[in-house]
Structure 1
Amino acid sequence: MESMRVRDVSFSNGTVELAGSLSVPVGTDLVVAGVVLVGGSGPTGRDNGTYFPPLRQHFVKAGFAVLSYDKRGVGQSTGDWHTATMDDLAADAVTALNFLRAQPEVPSQAAGLFGHSEGGWVALRASAAQDDLPWVVTNSCPGTSPAEQERYALANHLRGLHGDGHPEFHSTLSLYDQLTEAGRRDADFATAQQLVDDAGAPPGLAYYWGNVDERLWRFLKRKQDHDPIPDLLRLRCPHLALFGGADKAVPVADSIRVFAEAACDAARPHRATLTVEVFPGGDHRLQVQGSTDLAPGYLDRVSRWLAHHVTTPTDGGS
């Protein structure tokens, strides 16, 4: 028996036409809430590789309408993510949220955002501007800047290649730091590439630099010092932060500390509670043991938390 209905949809944010998929349980009376899935970094489509389909299926089975979309300039969406700012990407997410809220089968005040990795920064920026969200979920979202997160991921990659004590471990991280500083000086791509060439283009740097061209360099240097803390302090809804304990791309312990410090700030609205879930053995996509299997209990825990917070009343004192 069919349990899910999927249709292609499109919606506009200014001159950018975003294309996506809306999945709903069969029978409109079965929809308890809606969730927008916001993909991670790079040219992510509505499925975020293979990561979103199992989430979509689980959420629909749990009674959620699910909207995911191709990032601007990807798939059937127009525009170019290389030229986008965090505000642009957040505006795309808000546009998707408003589209989902407008669907007749979706309770308009029971729809929120789920952002994966970079999409977590986007979801936080989008949520911070909203007064009436029931919740926001970040999945493997760093509490650090992109520059710090990329350095952490590169260090883990180099550690796997050489170990901490190898000279190339330290020299490659030093080169990364030089590129970061070049970005802060707004150096052009030729200048950045010359730094890499002068250092002998160490093979381990390819993890970070292998696909960088002029367009991507402009995006990276514009994004590298994004600070999620102001958005965390401005949240006015409950926040579920999900992490894999074996995530080598995100400094999980540091991110949890940042999220917790923001939640403890006296200026943060009282309704903006924080729930943190760390799944031991889970990687950046909350998958375990190098497989596509999600961490045990992950999907059920998320859907139960969402359902519980759908009807959370607003805090009149915030």
Structure 2
Amino acid sequence: MVRDNTIRSKQPAIIFLVGSGTGSTLKNYQSTTEFFFDHNLVEQGFTMVYFDKRGLGDSEGVWYSTSFEQRALDARNVALHLREYDFIDHEQIFVVGHSQGGWIVQIALADYPELFAGGISMAGPTFGVRRQMINDAASILHCKQGLSQQEAERKASRQVSRNLFFISLVGWKGNLRQLNLIKDFEPDAYLKAIHQPFLMMFGENDPLVSPTWSLQALERLFPESLPDNMDYYVAAGEEHSFKIAPSCYQGSWRALPFSTQSRDKIRQWLEANTQPH
């Protein structure tokens, strides 16, 4: 936990959920969490709560055999643990996730409304895993091979179908095992079941999670209009980690600056959806 010990009033808590794979650890997310949360929200009276996925960092278990629903269950258990602390406002526990963690936020809000007051998905898709894999592959084909968006999507769809068939045969451990486990996941039912405040953030130039595809998925789910409890934000000129980068950027990601606009959006949304003491 990261908090300001000098604040005497009860504090809202934010549980952060990392993305996919073995690279998504708290150590590797440190620059992200410090910029967007620790140096942005703690002084405003929020308590930040971090934990690694099963089998990574100091956590027990095996990450690649953990389903999305089990990851959401882990977030639930953390929220229950937070209720043991007197300095935490038990009615204001939020969940924020990046990338794959955004899917987990959707599940946590839908399945545990009695625990979570709201949530933010940072570059989390509103479509399924298979389509996200197509999104990723199509971006590579478009940016590196110069294919049109339509041709890149068609070729990527065939490529992903072949890959998933191969994974079904040999995916026994590691990332292949994880893909075999999550490949059929679709978020529709969870998105429809969310009634708490929910912010979806997308990067305009994100090669992994297209904001266009994401908004199209929302329009399909909610053809009349987006529910009043939901909002979305497309960060202009930003990529998957909410760093400032042009489309098809090929340089060093580490050298890119994080976006102060997206940082401010997170703080403003949280302040608007919490009750001060």
TMscore range, shorter length? 0.7 to 0.9
Q: TM-score, normalised by structure 1?
A: 0.74
- Does residue 93 in structure 1 map to residue 75 in structure 2? yes
Deviation at 1:63, TM superposition (A): 1.4
Which amino acid in the other structure matches residue 252 of structure 1? P
Counterpart of 2:236? 280
Counterpart of 1:201? none
Which amino acid in the other structure matches residue 34 of structure 2? P
**2: CA distance between counterparts of 1:287 and 1:31?**
33
Structure 1 unaligned spans of 5+: 1-21, 190-212, 313-318
1:182-261 correspondence to structure 2 within 5 Å: 182-183=166-167, 186-189=168-171, 214-261=173-220
**1: CA distance between counterparts of 2:27 and 2:218?**
27
RMSD over aligned Cα atoms: 2.6
Q: TM-score, normalised by structure 2?
A: 0.85
Deviation at 1:263, TM superposition (A): 4.8
Counterpart of 2:260? 296
The counterpart of 1:178, out of the listed 144, 162, 166, is: 162
Deviation at 1:215, TM superposition (A): 3.1
Counterpart of 1:164? 147
> Secondary structure at the residue paired with 1:297?
helix
> Secondary structure at the residue paired with 1:108?
strand
- Does residue 151 in structure 1 map to residue 130 in structure 2? no
Is the contact between residue 110 and residue 134 of structure 1 (CA under 8 Å) also seen in structure 2?
yes
CA distances 1:95-129 after superposition (whole Å, capped 9, x unpaired):
12222333221110011100111001111111111
The counterpart of 2:26, out of the listed 43, 46, 52, is: 46
> Secondary structure at the residue paired with 2:181?
helix
Deviation at 1:39, TM superposition (A): 0.4
**2: CA distance between counterparts of 1:25 and 1:77?**
25
- Does residue 62 in structure 1 map to residue 44 in structure 2? yes
Is the contact between residue 204 and residue 210 of structure 2 (CA under 8 Å) also seen in structure 1?
no
**2: CA distance between counterparts of 1:130 and 1:155?**
35
1:154–1:114 CA distance, 2 compared to 1 (3 A): same
- Say which is worse superposed, 217-226 or 94-103, in terms of deviation: 94-103
**2: CA distance between counterparts of 1:264 and 1:25?**
43
CA distances 1:148-198 after superposition (whole Å, capped 9, x unpaired):
111111121122222117xx9776763332122455xx3234xxxxxxxxx
**2: CA distance between counterparts of 1:173 and 1:230?**
24
Is the contact between residue 112 and residue 134 of structure 1 (CA under 8 Å) also seen in structure 2?
yes
The count of aligned residue pairs is: 261
> Secondary structure at the residue paired with 1:110?
strand
Is the contact between residue 134 and residue 311 of structure 1 (CA under 8 Å) also seen in structure 2?
no
1:218–1:231 CA distance, 2 compared to 1 (3 A): same
Which amino acid in the other structure matches residue 89 of structure 1? R
- Say which is worse superposed, 31-40 or 66-75, in terms of deviation: 31-40
1:102–1:308 CA distance, 2 compared to 1 (3 A): farther
Rg larger for: 1
